[in-house]
Structure 1
Amino acid sequence: MIEDPLFYLVAVPALMIMGISKGGFGGGLGVAAVPLLSLTISPVQAAAILLPILIFMDLIGLWTFRGKWDKATAKIIICGAIVGIAIGTASFKYLDEHTIKLLISMVALGFSGNYWLKQRNGAHPAKAPSVVRGGFWSVIAGFTSFAAHSGGAPLNVYLLPLKLDKTVFQATTVIFFTIINYVKLVPYTWLGQFSSENLMTSLVILPLALVGIVSGIWLHTRIPEKLFYNLCYSFLFLTGLKLLYDGVSGMLS
């Protein structure tokens, strides 16, 4: 089990944000978890520690939002994500720690920057579903989900413009992440990511995720989404900047 106190200090906000996001706010801000944990451990180890926790949270979300997802949309994005996971598995050995940090920082900065830009430009009409757009962004979501559990960022690039009903949107992300996280068990096991240290650490911090997802479910209809997103996207942007610095400095050293 990891014994560094700094890891657990970072794990508290990481797991709470991830749980609250998955429980009631579409799961997109779960992208913050690996970047935060990557401030104290390698991104690869952070992803391995989080996967069993994500699967546990998915089951709670699946029960809460059962049968409310958009089936047609779910089919498009799940098929694309499985292709992305296969690409991630095939390229895993070519991605070093600094490259992964850069990848995560780009997703974090891009996703938060896209959010603020849309806030500035105002509302836009809903887009129609598209197999091409949905397939493209879900392949990227599958790849980034495999590498750093950050599939919510590219997935939401496709889903958010559809402007689905709030609960339908949440339920669709729940079924999406439930299936792809179970699919990821196969390559993660094959690549030897589930060491005893990682699994014990997952078990220790699991209660934080449980509190987070229960809070997210409760907050789903009780908190202004704009306030929640503004705070978390600001935090995500700052984390992305830190990881960008770490990735670039690591590659240049």
Structure 2
Amino acid sequence: MNTSTLWDLTGWEFAALAFAALLVGFSKTAVSGANTVSLAVFAAVLPARASTGVLLPILIAGDVLAVLTYRRHAHWPTLWRLFPAVAAGVVVGTVFLLWADDGIVRTSIGAILLLMAGVTVWRRRRADAGAAAEDEPDGVVTRAGRLKARSYGVLGGFTTMVANAGGPVMSMYLLSAGFRKLGFLGTSAFFFLIVNTSKLPFSAGLGLIDADSLLLDAALVLFVVPGALLGKWAVTRIDQRLFEQLVIAATVVGGLQLLLR
């Protein structure tokens, strides 16, 4: 893999990656989508394609911590409906990576994220400000919701494979489906643990994960834990409306970063 080893990094570069790893932990247990900043940091310090291979094990470590924290709040009917579509998206993303350059990948995903953020804001504004959340997310109980789940699933699988950017996609889906804060975090925790783990053989086959990248991961994974603990502390102090606003804002920032890089 064409990337810097742990020993090639300057102190400032390692500090930037360590901060990005801490932010991964925070995003997994608090504001999903905030790790789009981590994507940008890793891609700035390391070669863009190689950075996805280094970041993937860091994301999985965060997923494990999130599952341990929110495992009781996962909504499995939604997960089972998403997985087949996500698998298709991962396969499409793998094929896409064989020929697409970084510029095409960034522009495509950035545009998708901004479009979905706009749609989600529009949907939320149409809802009554005081309306109670539905007992069952609409991604499960309606035909339109099931179609939406499949569409977002394919997009989520595609974006998570090509740029580890599936978080904002699924954040927009879970918000639009009416998930409350803990259900959102519990469902996304299991979703990304399973999806990111399934990506390992694809990434290794593409040469994105090797001994050098894993050595760097071993040094960075220590910073995921304090980030996750900070997120767990913060999420209890964030109300539902602010939570949704932060998730949408993080998605917009991530989309703009991809478009403007």
Aligned to 1:201: 216
Is 2:43 aligned against 1:38?
yes
Q: Secondary structure at the match of 1:65?
A: helix
Is 2:82 aligned against 1:72?
no
Give 1:87 shift: 1.0
Is 2:151 aligned against 1:172?
no
Structure 2 unpaired stretches of 5+: 1-5, 140-144
Q: Distance in 1 between matches of 2:10 and 2:105?
A: 22
Q: 1:128 aligns with which of 128, 132, 138?
A: 138
Aligned to 2:17: 11
CA contact (8 A) 1:35 1:240 kept: no
Counterparts of 1:76-155 in structure 2, within 5 Å, are: 76-107=81-112, 109-110=114-115, 121=125, 123=127, 128-129=138-139, 130-155=145-170
Query: What amino acid is aligned across from residue 60 of structure 1 in structure 2?
Result: L
Number of equivalenced pairs: 244
Counterparts of 1:211-250 in structure 2, within 5 Å, are: 211-224=226-239, 237=252, 240-246=255-261
Give 1:4 shift: 3.7
Q: 2:58 aligns with which of 53, 56, 64?
A: 53
Give 1:29 shift: 2.6
Counterparts of 1:150-165 in structure 2, within 5 Å, are: 150-165=165-180
Closer/same/farther in 2, CA of residues 150 and 44 from structure 1, 3 Å limit: same
Give 1:11 shift: 2.4
Closer/same/farther in 2, CA of residues 115 and 197 from structure 1, 3 Å limit: farther
Give 1:88 shift: 1.0
Give 1:236 shift: 6.2
Most deviating of 196-205 and 104-113:
104-113
Closer/same/farther in 2, CA of residues 201 and 229 from structure 1, 3 Å limit: farther
Structure 1 vs Structure 2: percent identity of aligned residues?
24
Query: What amino acid is aligned across from residue 51 of structure 2 in structure 1?
Result: A
Q: Distance in 1 between matches of 2:246 and 2:146?
A: 33
Give 1:107 shift: 4.6
Q: Distance in 2 between matches of 1:107 and 1:42?
A: 23
Counterparts of 1:186-197 in structure 2, within 5 Å, are: 186-197=201-212
Length-normalised TM-score, structure 2 = 0.80
Give 1:176 shift: 0.5
Q: 2:28 aligns with which of 12, 18, 22?
A: 22
Give 1:220 shift: 2.0
Closer/same/farther in 2, CA of residues 80 and 29 from structure 1, 3 Å limit: farther
